[in-house]
Amino acid sequence: MGLDAATITDGLTDYLSERTGGEVAVSGVHKLSGGAIQENWALDVVMQQGDWAGEHHLVLRCDAASAVATSHSRADEFALLKAAHDAGVIVPMPCILCDDERVLGRRFFLMHRVGGIAAGHKLARLTDISGLAGELGENLAHIHSLKPPHEDLAFLGEPPDNPSTAAIAMYRGYLDELDVAHPVIEWGLRWLETNAPAPSDVVLCHRDYRTGNYMVEDGHLSAVLDWEFAGWSDPLEDIGWLCAKCWRFGANDREAGGIGSREDFYAGYEAASGRTIDRDSVYFWEVMAHVRWAVIACQQAARHVSGEERSLELALTAHVVPELELEILNMTEPLNA
């Protein structure tokens, strides 16, 4: 069943009325931008009874028409959001999880709506965000304070003995499932194999901690979004992902996500975590970031081409692959020249 404003309004009104035992009014339902893998809908809810009595500005997050491999279910993502919130990570406050597909035709959860902007191309052009890189580093340290085993995150499974080699094997497997050969990405995977650093501590990694997946309001971090890929990994994976050139949105002089200096980001992280970042190993994870994004872009394009989900957004994603391949070659050639 396709989702639209009327379906959400009617379904949530009945569902929340039943849960609270009182009258509920749902209004202002509209789809938010982005969401190639998940859909996000803004809405306002007024509840008359129970602990939630009052007006609430919320976001409904649910599955898109199809998903990509490694994307968590909404129940798992809700658990991640709760664990992060409890650890002091700046995230939207989670509210309600609904695993009953009869309500809207898809599983979903509700979380409080946060103010600010998330669009990477806008954030990379802001000038009044001098402290943002440090805030992102400090906040990432809170995420990495969560370690296995963790009772509420058991669904993440056992942590890998070596996150880098596990990631290489996973991305090669995804490439093998595609119908088109990608020799440059294969070259990048081989470079990663021969340059893999020794295993480090394993922590909870967001695994999509980048500009475009967090909100900024009045120059400060207001929320980290999109926990659908989180898992146990090397903490440098998140650091390399944010600093990778492909997530700077053209502001390449600001190496921390196009919003600030790499050293400010590092300083915020090191002060909050007590860890010292291995600068050389970050380079490895930046190469990994470009390889991983290229693999994901190929997967998303395949969803469109196969007819599984016809989408202009998915089709256009394929056009970033050549640029990513060029960066992979640029980053790997000098060390082997």
What's the pTM value of the predicted model, to 2 decimals? 0.92
3-class secondary structure, 132: helix
Chain position carrying tokens 């090191």 = 270
Closest CA to 309 of 297, 320, 321, 301: 301
What is the CB neighbour count within 10 angstroms for residue 325? 19
| Long-range contacts of the stretch 25-33 (C-beta < 8 A, 24+) | 29/5, 30/5, 31/5, 32/59, 33/119
Is residue 337 scored above 50 in pLDDT? no
3-class secondary structure, 21: coil
Tell me whether domains 5-112 and 120-336 share a fold: no
* Fold exhibited by the domain 120-336: Aminoglycoside 3'-phosphotransferase; Chain: A, domain 2 (3.90.1200)
3-class secondary structure, 224: strand
DSSP 117: B
Tell me the C-alpha distance between 267 and 257, whole Å: 15
DSSP 242: H
Q: What is the pLDDT of residues 73-125, one digit of tens each?
A: 999 999 999 999 999 999 999 999 999 999 999 999 999 999 999 999 999 99
Structure confidence at residue 307 (pLDDT): 66
Q: What is the pLDDT of residues 10-56, one digit of tens each?
A: 999 999 999 988 999 999 999 997 655 688 999 999 998 877 889 99
Structure confidence at residue 67 (pLDDT): 52
Model confidence band, residue 317 (pLDDT cutoffs 50, 70, 90): confident
Q: What is the mean pLDDT of residues 312-323?
A: 83
Structure confidence at residue 312 (pLDDT): 72
Is residue 68 scored above 60 in pLDDT? no
Within 8 A by CB and 6+ apart from 204, the residues are: 83, 143, 144, 146, 147, 148, 150, 153, 156, 230, 231, 232
What is the CB neighbour count within 10 angstroms for residue 151? 6
Is residue 325 scored above 50 in pLDDT? yes
Q: What is the pLDDT of residues 229-263, one digit of tens each?
A: 999 999 999 999 999 999 999 999 999 999 999 99
Q: ∠ at Cα 236 (268, 329), nearest 5°?
A: 120
Q: What is the pLDDT of residues 166-183, one digit of tens each?
A: 999 999 999 999 988 999
Structure confidence at residue 303 (pLDDT): 74
* Fold exhibited by the domain 5-112: Phosphorylase Kinase; domain 1 (3.30.200)
Structure confidence at residue 63 (pLDDT): 80
334 vs 219 pLDDT, higher one: 219
242 touches 142 (CB < 8 A): no
Structure confidence at residue 38 (pLDDT): 81
Structure confidence at residue 272 (pLDDT): 98
Structure confidence at residue 304 (pLDDT): 65
Q: What is the pLDDT of residues 270-313, one digit of tens each?
A: 999 999 999 999 999 999 999 999 999 998 877 766 666 667 77
Can you give the residue ranges of every domain in the chain?
Answer: 5-112, 120-336
